[in-house]
Chains A and B, each alone.
Chain A
């Protein structure tokens, strides 16, 4: 053994003798400062979260739907002058208007209170 190796202490002794250095080490490497070795359940959090990497094993398109994509796309365009035309919605409104013109629109809503009273009487 060289003279330098003899002068150096093992890591366990340094931890006990120099608490300030240990504290600084914990702040740098994002570790929980635990001088008394208490069992606080910290070792569970030492691993990084595995979920995001496991989720996309078979491909990254698992959690995006077309409708979800369009809603997020429309949200970004809210402040701007650019407007998207929804052809399906325009067609639907046109169809409803044509039906109303013939006289086959949606029926009027009845009052619920009146219906309930009639049922009770029977």
Chain B
């Protein structure tokens, strides 16, 4: 695994504490993904002896909580909120999304009227 400083390095956005935390989780998961998958596939393999399978399962469960996929959550890039984040590709909270769409920063979207 690389150094901790590399995991905390943020892209040029307004950094919030929640986004920094989530970014770290993403970096850790990306680096340990192969390891996790190999351990999982070994533990599911019925042809191997039970001792090996149990050891693989224990090693997987002993990995840090940060590196798990379930810890990752799509957050708003501007505010860092985890709730009501609009669809894929937008990465914004609904209020941020609305203000930006009205002002014309997102040319794909406009207010519906019928």
Question: How many residues on A have C-beta within 8 angstroms of the other chain's C-beta atoms?
Answer: 22
Q: Which residues of B contact A55 (CB under 8 A)?
A: 26-27, 30
Contact with B along A41-71 (1 / 0, CB 8 A): 1111100011110110111111101000000
- Cα distance A50–B23 in the bound complex, in angstroms: 15
In the complex the two chains form, is B27's CB within 8 Å of A62's CB? Answer: yes
Prevailing SS type, chain A contact patch: loop
Question: How many residues on B have C-beta within 8 angstroms of the other chain's C-beta atoms?
Answer: 30
CB distance from A40 to the nearest CB of B (A): 5
Q: Which residues of B contact A113 (CB under 8 A)?
A: none
**Which residue of B19, B42, B45 is within 8 Å of A58 (Cβ)?**
B19
A62-B9 CB under 8 A given contacts A38-B46, A40-B45, A57-B26: yes
In the complex the two chains form, is B41's CB within 8 Å of A59's CB? Answer: no
In the complex the two chains form, is B12's CB within 8 Å of A40's CB? Answer: no
Nearest neighbor of A52 in chain B, beta-carbon distance: B30
**Interface check B83, CB cutoff 8 A:** no
**Interface check A39, CB cutoff 8 A:** yes
**Which residue of B31, B47, B69 is within 8 Å of A38 (Cβ)?**
B47
In the complex the two chains form, is A62's CB within 8 Å of B23's CB? Answer: yes
- Cα distance A52–B34 in the bound complex, in angstroms: 12
In the complex the two chains form, is A54's CB within 8 Å of B30's CB? Answer: yes
**Which residue of B9, B19, B47 is within 8 Å of A40 (Cβ)?**
B47
Q: Can you offer 12 A-B residue contacts whose CB atoms are under 8 A? A: A38-B47, A39-B44, A41-B45, A43-B44, A45-B41, A49-B33, A51-B31, A55-B27, A55-B30, A59-B10, A61-B11, A62-B27
**Extra 4 A-B pairs, beta carbons < 8 Å, given A41-B43, A41-B45, A45-B37:** A54-B29, A55-B27, A60-B11, A62-B11
